[in-house]
Chain A
Amino acid sequence: MDPHRSPNLLDEALGLDQSAGTWPLGGRVVLVEDCVETSGSFVLYQIIKRALSPNSSNVVIFLAFSHSFSHIDRILRKLGSNLVAQRDNSRFFFFDMLMLQCPEGDERKGKDGLVELYRKVQTLVSSLPEDKKKCITIMVDDVSLMEVATNGSSDHALDFLRYCHTLTSEFGCSLVLLNHEDIYSGLLRPTFLLQMEYLADVMVKAEPLATGLASDVHGQMMVLSKGVCGKPGNLMNKMHNFQFRIKENTVEYFYPGRRT
């Protein structure tokens, strides 16, 4: 079977298995939460792989705060998509934000600050041709590092995310965010995390098994889609729970105890 087309549990949970022509995540915000023991970055790579699959015309805008291009390129190459080629094709845009430092204080909006970054993203989105505008995915690899880049003024980071959120309603972009839940778990009022969870339409949580790490089950995940039913007044949250095992070129998903 063609690995590009066979839907797995994550695809089903995210609604990526419907091949109705439109990008299923369009206009939605996906929040991926993970912890020190289990990294959730593989979910981003899976979504990139889907978005850049040969029979779609999606565009991915990747705001990298934690990993270099070569790291992500190597991973995606093993998953079967060539980021360098896609970059030349103007389907993959990589913003290297590893060294971004925004000065503190709301008055001094430096040249390289988040405002400038948003401006770049916005111009990029609006400059894309009409047919591509429909399915743009904006990814932020590690919101917590964006917070660090703003020197702890989470409001700036949150503002940036809200601005990006406007793009989802304006152009139908989808926004995929990675954050670390355990950073905020000890806080009395984790405003930042709660605000992001409020923004999110789909939440993906990756965590280790309660019994610890095993070599054949790398963790479990919960996918919560808010208000999936299309009819107004008939909102329903849909939840999927399953376990996963990460391999070099694929990720296996399975229900607990049903691993074949």
Chain B
Amino acid sequence: MAANKTRTSGFSRNFSGTTSSQTPGIKSGPNGTIFVSSGIPDLDKILGGGFPLGSLVMVMEDAEAPHHMLLLRNFMSQGLVHNQPLLYASPAKDPRGFLGTLPSPVLSKENKSRKDDPEQDKGLRIAWQYKKYFGEDQHIHRDAKQEFCNDFDLRKPLERQFLSGRRVDCVSFQKISNIATLQDHCSTFLAQFRRNDGNISGVGRLAIQSLCAPQCEYSNMEWEMLSFIRSLKGMLQSSYAVAVITFPPSLLSPSSSKRWQHMADTLLSVKAIPVRCMPLVFGPSSHRMIVADEDKELAQLLTGYQDMVGLLNVHKVARMNTQVPVILEATTFSIKLQKRRFLVLECLNQAPIDGSSGSSYGTTASCSGSSSKTGTLDF
């Protein structure tokens, strides 16, 4: 929405899909930016199209919950589906094993049927009828439309065909002694996607998980990590690639954490649901009661509380080639698992409080107005 607005006001070149038709999985946005998908359709929508190429996305982790992994998984899967080379760095001993947990894309048929909106369904049926008549042509069109962003089924692992033969580099922080090695990995990886002329030969995705995790030897060298991020950012600006870094800010000193946040083009944070019927084992019983009450209150206040997994906060949206900040209508979203399979983001819907009084007032007024009118006419 915001992207459209900027497009109309600024005089940006109208690419009209010249680039996106050549390389799958990218689409052009305002101000000459090119987006790749985050792997979560709702997140793409929130960010105005996706992650812009050349940008650095940072996700602040919740130290007690693994929600950042949901974002990372979808981001990586989406890249593999589009056959984009991937570099994955993680503090785990065997990062390649993580690839086995990536979610699988849903076929368009399944994907369509999961939308339980009646209107959508009606439209769908007509579309299917059309498909019967137009055959191949329509099919191609539909595919091309869906290509940019897939829905992922979190319960189905990614099929082998997406992993075999793809260029996937995995780096374990435990195996490298200093951050310069990681930087070398990144620079060789990014060298494949240099921006020199208009042609995009390929798009790279970089996923770095828990950069400042205590497992790595350099985790107490804050300045080294900062200069790594800075140089990574510098390299990204001149290449067709996107990097997603997740980090637990609580492990950094407050000023370092702010520096990291400043360096991010897009800054997100994930949080677990504050309290979830987890009675404290120790402590006085009165305290326990309070916790349970709070949970109930939240459940009353927010609709769909039961499906919620966590919260996503959007702190900063990348502004490439523009000075205008993107101001979102809402910055906090609930992460939900729809049918326990699909990751969806929703605005926090607060249960309406006294919302009916205003509108009813209006209707009564108009009613009385019209009745008085008829009264004057009726003589």
CB within 8 Å of B: which residues of A? 36-39, 41-42, 45, 66-68, 70-71, 74-75, 78, 98-99, 101, 144-145, 148-149, 151-152, 180, 182-184, 186-187, 213-215, 218, 246-249, 251
In the complex, besides A36-B316, A213-B327, 19 extra interface pairs with C-beta distance below 8 angstroms are A37-B316, A38-B325, A39-B319, A71-B237, A71-B320, A74-B32, A98-B234, A145-B263, A148-B227, A148-B259, A151-B224, A180-B258, A180-B259, A180-B262, A182-B258, A186-B254, A186-B258, A249-B9, A251-B323
Instruction: Return A10 CB to nearest CB of chain B, in Å.
Output: 13
Asked whether, in the complex, the Cβ of A101 is within 8 Å of the Cβ of B227, the reply is yes
Given A187-B255, A246-B325: A148 and B262 interface contact (C-beta under 8 Å) = no
Is B245 engaged at the interface, CB distance under 8 Å to the other chain?
no
Q: Which residues of B contact A246 (CB under 8 A)?
A: 323-325
Which interface class (under 10, 10 to 19, 20 to 34, 35 or more) fits B?
Answer: 35 or more
Instruction: Return B252 CB to nearest CB of chain A, in Å.
Output: 11
Asked whether, in the complex, the Cβ of B6 is within 8 Å of the Cβ of A248, the reply is yes
Instruction: Return A206 CB to nearest CB of chain B, in Å.
Output: 11
Instruction: Return A19 CB to nearest CB of chain B, in Å.
Output: 25
Asked whether, in the complex, the Cβ of A37 is within 8 Å of the Cβ of B315, the reply is yes
Q: Which residues of A contact B325 (CB under 8 A)?
A: 38-39, 213, 218, 246
Asked whether, in the complex, the Cβ of B315 is within 8 Å of the Cβ of A248, the reply is no
Tell me whether chain B's interface is mostly helix, strand or loop, or mixed.
helix
Our count of residue pairs bridging A and B at CB distance below 8 angstroms stands at: 92
Asked whether, in the complex, the Cβ of B262 is within 8 Å of the Cβ of A144, the reply is yes
Instruction: Return B15 CB to nearest CB of chain A, in Å.
Output: 14
CB within 8 Å of A: which residues of B? 6, 9-11, 31-32, 222-224, 226-227, 230-231, 233-235, 237-238, 254-255, 258-259, 261-263, 267, 315-316, 319-325, 327, 329, 331
Given A45-B323, A151-B223: A183 and B315 interface contact (C-beta under 8 Å) = no
Given A74-B32, A78-B11: A99 and B234 interface contact (C-beta under 8 Å) = yes
Cross-interface CB contact of B255 among A151, A186, A218, cutoff 8 Å? A186
Q: Which residues of B contact A66 (CB under 8 A)?
A: 233
Asked whether, in the complex, the Cβ of B223 is within 8 Å of the Cβ of A152, the reply is yes
Q: Which residues of B contact A78 (CB under 8 A)?
A: 10-11, 322
Asked whether, in the complex, the Cβ of A70 is within 8 Å of the Cβ of B9, the reply is no
Cross-interface CB contact of B327 among A98, A144, A149, A215, cutoff 8 Å? A215
Q: Which residues of B contact A74 (CB under 8 A)?
A: 31-32, 321-322
- Nearest residue, chain A, Cβ from B254: A186
Asked whether, in the complex, the Cβ of A248 is within 8 Å of the Cβ of B322, the reply is yes
Residue among B319, B320, B327 with the most chain A CB within 10 A? B327
Instruction: Return B324 CB to nearest CB of chain A, in Å.
Output: 5
Q: Which residues of B contact A218 (CB under 8 A)?
A: 325, 327
Cross-interface CB contact of B237 among A98, A101, A214, cutoff 8 Å? A98
List 24 A–B pairs whose Cβ atoms lie within 8 Å, in order of A's numbering: A36-B267, A36-B316, A37-B315, A38-B325, A39-B319, A42-B323, A66-B233, A67-B237, A75-B321, A78-B322, A144-B262, A148-B226, A149-B230, A151-B223, A151-B224, A152-B222, A152-B223, A152-B226, A213-B325, A218-B325, A247-B324, A248-B324, A249-B9, A251-B323
